[in-house]
Structure 1
Amino acid sequence: MSQGPIGTIILEKLTTAFDPVSISLEDDSWKHAGHHHEGGMDAKAGGESHFNLSIVSSSFDGQGRVARQRAINAVLAEELAGPVHALSIKAMTPAEASG
């Protein structure tokens, strides 16, 4: 599946930061079209506001779930402060992914 510009940036940043064994990013924005929240609409026209991420990297060895999510959020701070409204994260080590 091809990514839009935001998805492409997310994948590039995560690949550089974590050298993943595998990575998958799904634009899930269409499921949120028309949903409202306090600041306005959840999903923007054209998508790329809600994503599901699955990433497998040995960089996560020895880290708990929260530490992994914080590391990913730190790498994507700019995107999470702007165009990305929601990011669901599944971060695993290679051993966890194969087990």
Structure 2
Amino acid sequence: MSTADQLTEYLQDLNPTHLALENESMQHAGYFEGKESHFKLTIVSDAFAGKRPVARHQQVYALAGPLLTSAGGTIHALAIHAYTPDEWAATGAAPDSPLCAGKNI
């Protein structure tokens, strides 16, 4: 199973109403075909209600933990954009990711 599929499966514990996971590895130095090291996650869930951004990120990291490089996994970077359904309805889109300093596009 791919890293992206595993992460998507792990995040189902948050009962997301919207989940978009983008592999942005190709935008970073050292990329090779099939690399899964840099992701952008947009997730909408009632589980984030009443929580500050740091607490939301901690919830996601707790689920993604085994996939992170610090735990022996392949994910080096995970950009998290976590919203409640009401916030998502007002926002409707996650911000663009910045370019990697080590990659010329």
Question: Where does residue 35 of structure 2 map in the other structure?
Answer: 47
Q: Distance in 2 between matches of 1:88 and 1:18?
A: 17
SS in 2 for 1:25: strand
The structure with more strand, counted as a fraction of residues = 1
- Cα RMSD, aligned residues only: 1.4
Q: What is the aligned residue count?
A: 87
Give how far 1:54 is off: 0.1
Give how far 1:47 is off: 1.4
Q: Distance in 2 between matches of 1:20 and 1:45?
A: 29
1:15-94 paired onto structure 2 within 5 Å: 15=12, 17-34=13-30, 43=31, 46-80=34-68, 81=71, 82-94=73-85
Question: How many percent of aligned residue pairs carry the same amino acid?
Answer: 40
Aligned partners of 2:26 and 2:32 also within 8 Å: no
Q: Which runs of 4+ in 1 moved over 3 A?
A: none
Question: Where does residue 99 of structure 2 map in the other structure?
Answer: none
TM-score for the superposition, normalised by structure 1: 0.82
